[in-house]
Amino acid sequence: MRLPTRHLLGIETLHPRDISAFLDLAESYALLNRSGKTRRDVLRGRTLINLFFEDSTRTRTSFELAGKRLGADVINMSVSTSSVSKGETLLDTAATLNAMNCDLLVVRHKASGAPALLAQKVDAAVINAGDGMHEHPTQALLDALTIRRHKGTLEGLTIAICGDIAHSRVARSNILLLIAMGSQVRVVGPPTLIPSGIEQFGVSVFHDMREGLRDADIVMALRLQTERMSGGLIPSAREFFTFYGLDAAKLALAKPDALVMHPGPMNRGVEIDSQVADDVTRSVIREQVEMGVAVRMAVLDVLARTALRNA
Ligand code: CP
């Protein structure tokens, strides 16, 4: 597998062939992880630094686990106790880590484009772990892997992404990936939470959940990203749940075997009802988390090999 760059900054730059190759490799890691044979030598002697300027449970932990399972030395930078709190800039922080000969730098930042900026300044391979409202490529890859494991393909599936599309990097990366792989993508939400012109990405827009979920194969609920909202975009969380919260009645409009997904963290009773989130016959939310480790192992593996080839 040959990536166009030595970094993973977004889905936008990936060819469908790269996406399939990532998913195939991640599938093999998923099987290895389930077998308990997780220790590999792929990253032995390599250093992975997790640099998270925003909170995270799933992404940070799974990159740490993925790096350790592949034999890397893994360091988690705590930004709140680092010299960032003394005013050190993002670029100076990255230059400092670069001087320690870090090989892989996993970055989450509230500013769109921050990982791309770092990628121009450091020798390490940079992986975007979520930048503002821009992209979250490994989340889209793990979502795709989860779907493919259940449906066998992404092509031809109808996938409804519901809720706060406007502020969601998960929505953006998923739309780019799923359209590239031949899915029919619908975005469903109130007009205030759907960016104007989003149709140019090839998606259909719905403001009524009953229409948007009808005969869907996959229903993906997204959290209201209140930390990125300025002003009141919804009347109240309670009203949002009434019209756009994924509950059993709304899910009944999708196909009988439709899967329920959520990238997490969930706000129960806001964008998703507990009965639906915890229904093991429909919800694959826990499996998404499991696939997150496998996908991140595949990404670290490929980027480390790309760096070796370019050395
Ligand atoms: N889905 C996701 O990015 O979760 P975290 O914020 O917990 O990493």
Atom of ligand 1 nearest to the CA of 129: 3
- Cα(311) to centroid of ligand 1, in Å? 32
Q: How far is CA 27 from CA 2, 34, 148, in A?
A: 18, 11, 10
Q: Are 305 and 280 in contact (CB under 8 A)?
A: no
Torsion of CA 244, 245, 247, 253, to 10 degrees: 20
b/e per residue, 180-193, with b = 16+ CB within 10 A?
Answer: bbebbbbbbbbeeb
d(CA 31, ligand 1 centre) in Å: 23
Using most ligand atoms within 8 A of CB, pick from 50, 54, 55, 59 the residue to mutate for ligand 1: 59
| Element counts in the chain: helices (H) and strands (E) | 11, 9
Q: Give yes or no for residue 233 having a pLDDT over 80.
A: no
Mean pLDDT of 24-36: 95
264 Cα–ligand 1 center, Å: 6
User: Mean pLDDT, the chain, as a whole number?
Assistant: 94
Tens digits of per-residue pLDDT, 132-179? 999 999 999 999 999 999 999 999 999 999 999 999 999 999 999 999
**CB of 57 closer than 6 angstroms to any ligand 1 atom:** yes
Structure tokens belonging to residue 291: 């696939």
Residue nearest to atom 3 of ligand 1 (CA): 59
Calculate how far, in angstroms, residue 57's C-alpha sits from the geometric centre of ligand 1: 6
Q: What is the pLDDT of residue 82?
A: 85
Cα(126)–Cα(184) distance, rounded to whole angstroms? Answer: 31
Task: Give the distance (Å) from ligand 1 centre to CA of residue 170.
Answer: 10
Contact 142, 295 (CB under 8 A): yes
Which amino acid is present at 98? N
pLDDT at 37 over 70: yes
pLDDT band at 23 (very low <50, low <70, confident <90, very high): very high
Q: What is the pLDDT of residues 270-306, one digit of tens each?
A: 999 999 999 999 999 999 999 999 999 999 999 998 8
Sheet strand arrangement including 158-162? 204-206, 184-188, 158-162, 218-221, 259-261
Which residue's CA is the closest to the ligand 1 atom numbered 4? 58
Q: How far apart (Å, rounded) are the C-alpha atoms in residues 106 and 213?
A: 35
265 lines ligand 1 (CB under 6 A): yes
- Per-residue pLDDT tens over the stretch 86-112: 999 999 998 898 899 999 999 999 999
Cα 59 to middle of ligand 1, angstroms: 5
CA distance linking residue 106 with residue 260, whole number of Å: 28
Please check the confidence at residue 311 and state whether its pLDDT lies above 70.
no
Q: Check if the beta carbon of residue 1 is closer than 8 Å to that of residue 261.
A: no
42-95 pLDDT per residue, tens? 999 999 999 999 999 999 999 999 999 999 999 998 888 888 889 999 999 988
pTM: 0.96
Say if ligand 1 is within 6 A of residue 292 CB. no
Average pLDDT in the 24-29 region?
A: 97
pLDDT of residue 104: 96
User: pLDDT tens digit string along 181-224?
Assistant: 999 999 999 999 999 999 999 999 999 999 999 999 999 999 99
**Among residues of the chain, what percentage have pLDDT more than 70?**
99
